[in-house]
Chain A
Amino acid sequence: MRKLKKNKKFDNILDECFERILVNDETIEQCLERYPEYAAELEPLLLTATATNKAVDIAPSPEFKARARYQLRVEMASLDTKKRRFFLTRQPRWAVAVVTALVVLLLGSGTVLAANSESTLPGNPLYPIKMATENVRLALTSSDSAKAELYATLVDRRTSEIGWLMDKGKTELVEWTVNRLKNHLANIYNLSPASQSTIGSEITAGEPSVKPAVAVQDVAGTVKAEERVRLQVLWGRYIVNHPDEIRAMLEEAPPSVKQDLTRAIVTSVNSYIATCQEVIRASNQSQNGANSNGSNGATNGSNQQSDASDEQPNDSNQQPGNSNHQSDNSGLAPDSLDPQSSILKQPLEVQGMRLGQSRGVPYSLLNIP
């Protein structure tokens, strides 16, 4: 019994010494001085523990960490897509009927599922079906923020497709995919609350049609506060993450696609910053409108539009990637193709908010949507 108690006491002392040495950086000698009566027994164990701790003090390589983050981001997006797909099956009967009819008439359900797989990549005969499926999903998504999130998922898909195409040396398809990526970005921008008030939906000719965002109307009244917050977070995250991913590809890209990728980065940064600014501005306007309680008509949709006119770009400048829209507020470089452009390297800040950061963790380090 006494031996048992002694062992227990020693186990406690040993663990305390481990904590002091491994966590609090005390030395072995300090611990031995603290318990001289156990020093002889403690010392060899503390030496082994210290050596063990040193041996396992290894960090994953930065390349692996970057790859793992990216992979996790893709997998998370993929899982969400599956969840949304499940949700789609809970849609009203008419929606299910429309989708089913489309599927049965045009393609056949098995083909669609196969086509919609992550492994169906540009150049695959099923890839056009994947595009068509994405369009159906967009058409069935009603809320703007949900639609924007779906576009964000598609941006992820296109980004990983670009990476895959480069890996496989299929550079001839990179430009097409970059253009498609840019159109997704354009649509995200068009879905931002304030942009809806002036520009509606603007989609490049030849690209799949997407239901326009809501008609011109009072933004503050239309977009719920929580939805604005979700949009802000989404943009803030993508504004750093997405360009970072393409930047990483740029370093290893063959010369023939460098220009396309550079253009994608510039477009991406400009689009997200523009969108983020609009969301923030719409939010501020909403608050100002609420504060004034309508006494000066500030919450009136038309007044909002005119108030915003100083910051809003002209119609001709609405395309994401247009530098004129960005230069006043963000100080970003124009849609230049210079790989040394600051837009390709600098952290981004909009209206005092360091974008892509929250809770003290830079998203550029996380790369997770």
Chain B
Amino acid sequence: MQDEQGLVRQAQQGDKDAFAELYEAYFDKIYRYVVLKISNKAEAEDMTQQVFLKAYQSIGSFKWKGAPFSAWLFRIAHNQMVDFVRKQSKRPTVQLEESMVASDDNPLRTVERRFDIERLRLATQQLTAAQQEVISLRFAGGLAIAEVARTMGKSEGAIKALQHSAVAALRKVLLTGEEIEEE
């Protein structure tokens, strides 16, 4: 792919081909990011399209101020998602209780065996909003720590700490789920 900065500049000048390249580069990542948050396939697809339409409409306003294009794009996705969630009825959340977290002799085998996107989605919903965002951006969006930091407006150190706590919390939730299922 051509230099991303050059492509963005061209896209800002109305070059649809340049935007098309950016679109191709990020489409799957944005889709994964969205799918991790929206279970309904049609809604997830619609949301993915909306993100790029919004990006095309507002790419003229994007400015290189140290933040990469990816951070800008994922911020659009995040904002779209916030709007979407606001419109949806809130799902009841279940507090994670330490007492429910059981040890497992071989957690990997159990977790990997039953782990899929739906299970991951439900598990991440038990995390804090910031932890969810780190998991979504880092693993689904495939962003580097620096990009996640730019997207979330935090320092890299803070994001690394958040990533640590998010993965640890996710693990607890997953193991809890295993425990409940086995009962």
Contact = CB atoms under 8 A, between A and B. Distances in A.
Interface in B109-164: 111-112, 115-117, 119-120, 135, 138-140, 144-145, 157, 160-161, 163-164
B27 A65 contact: yes
Given A44-B171, A365-B24, A56 B17 contact: no
A359 B17 contact: yes
Interface string B1-42: 110000000000010110111011001100110011000000
B49 A359 contact: no
B28 A10 contact: no
Interface stretch (B52-60, B68-76, B77-85, B91-99): B52-60
Interface in A11-48: 11-12, 14-15, 18-19, 22, 44-45, 47-48
Interface string A348-369: 0000000000111101011011
Nearest to B171: A48
* Residue among B27, B32, B160 with the highest chain A CB neighbour number at 10 A: B160
Contacts of A47: 107-108, 111-112, 171
B160 A14 contact: yes
Task: Assign chain B's interface to a size class.
Answer: 35 or more
B167 interface: yes
Interface residues of A, number: 46
B160 A56 contact: no
Given A15-B160, A68-B45, A56 B56 contact: no
Contacts of B135: 52
Contacts of B171: 44-45, 47-48
Contacts of B160: 8, 11-12, 14-15
A360 B17 CA distance: 11
Contact of A72 (B23, B31, B120): B23
A205 interface: no
Contacts of B174: 48, 51
Contacts of A237: 17
Contact of A45 (B19, B35, B161, B167): B167
A72 B164 contact: no
A60 B45 contact: yes
Contact of B120 (A8, A52, A65, A368): A52
Contact of B163 (A14, A65, A72, A361): A14
A366 to B, nearest CB: 4
A56 B112 contact: no
Contact of A48 (B27, B53, B170): B170
Contact of A55 (B17, B53, B117, B163): B117
Interface in A268-325: none
B112 A51 contact: yes
Contact of B164 (A14, A57, A361): A14
B164 A68 contact: no
A14 B171 CA distance: 15
A64 interface: yes
B56 A68 contact: no
A64 B119 CA distance: 23
A82 to B, nearest CB: 10
Contact of B145 (A15, A45, A54, A233): A15
B167 A56 contact: no
Contact of B20 (A52, A80, A368): A368
Given A10-B164, A11-B163, A51 B115 contact: yes
A114 B21 CA distance: 34
Contact of A368 (B17, B117, B119, B170): B17
Given A48-B174, A368-B17, A72 B53 contact: yes
A89 interface: no
A44 B35 CA distance: 25
Given A53-B139, A68-B48, A76-B56, A8 B157 contact: yes
A104 interface: no
B168 interface: yes
A143 interface: no
A327 B27 CA distance: 39
A71 B49 contact: yes
Closest 9 CB pairs of A and B: A11-B160, A368-B20, A48-B171, A47-B108, A56-B140, A55-B120, A366-B20, A60-B31, A51-B115
Interface of B: 1-2, 14, 16-17, 19-21, 23-24, 27-28, 31-32, 35-36, 45, 48-49, 52-53, 56-57, 107-108, 111-112, 115-117, 119-120, 135, 138-140, 144-145, 157, 160-161, 163-164, 167-168, 170-171, 174
19 contacts: A11-B163, A14-B163, A47-B111, A48-B167, A48-B171, A49-B167, A51-B115, A52-B167, A54-B112, A55-B117, A57-B32, A60-B28, A60-B48, A65-B27, A68-B49, A233-B17, A358-B17, A359-B21, A361-B20
Interface of A: 7-8, 10-12, 14-15, 18-19, 22, 44-45, 47-49, 51-60, 64-65, 68-69, 71-72, 75-76, 79-80, 233, 237, 358-361, 363, 365-366, 368-369
